[in-house]
Structure 1
Amino acid sequence: MPAVEKWSVVHLPYQPESASAARRFVRDKLAAWGLEVLLDNAELIISELVTNAVKTGCRRRMTVRIDRISTALVRISVTDGSRVPPVLLDAGEDDECHRGLALVNRLTQGQWGTTIEPLGKKVHADLRAGVT
């Protein structure tokens, strides 16, 4: 029986179309791991993280990674070339933007964060099966 891979990574350009490529990548990994229950939330989260990375104006490529931390816990992360951390804003009811990280915060129950790295940052979000 082949070993189950515990993580996977893909490099994507800083293009709006990369959000759909990242969703497919995450969807395929979660399905392979039998964690389809996380699909909807994971797709929303990766869309937000990739969209934020695209907005940084970086020119090379971003890295999208998914790690299976345990049987029920996955970490989705996006590494980009900007060292500016994302800011969780309290968007008003009539605001049309600044809602993405609030959504990530809600879907992960606050289990997300940023790590500043020498050449950019990594933003990660943890999802656990069985937690709503």
Structure 2
Amino acid sequence: MARNEYPIAKEESLGNLVKVQQIIDVIVLAELQQAQRYGNELEQIIIQRLGGFTTRTVGVNNGYLSTRLTKLAEAGHVFRAWEGDNRYNRYYKITDQGLLYFEQLIRELPERIDLVLSIYTGFKKYLGTFDHLR
């Protein structure tokens, strides 16, 4: 095999193809198109949408989700507000800019996910050659 026969651009490295934050963003923005949601509601929805895998399983916890929601708000993708004086009653709504970001993710992610699945499938097949060691 020739050297660099299959070069991968840095921005297309496996770690950058599909990020957990993009998965979370898609779910959050999709759900906010249905109705405004509270942060703790969004966490439960994410678990449900990921087939029961906890947010911790995919590298997300309350702190991460809170940080992600803050980033979405700072970027103008969501509007957040408190209901009453309770700081835990923060709710979120999608903005027009959030809709555009959601549409961009929906256009880009399927192809990236297919590539990641192809890479992992090839690697799993390769690992199968070592089954005798297990």
TM-score above 0.5: no
TM-score by length of 1: 0.28
More helix by share: 2
Q: Which is greater in Rg? A: 2
More strand by share: 1
TM-score by length of 2: 0.28
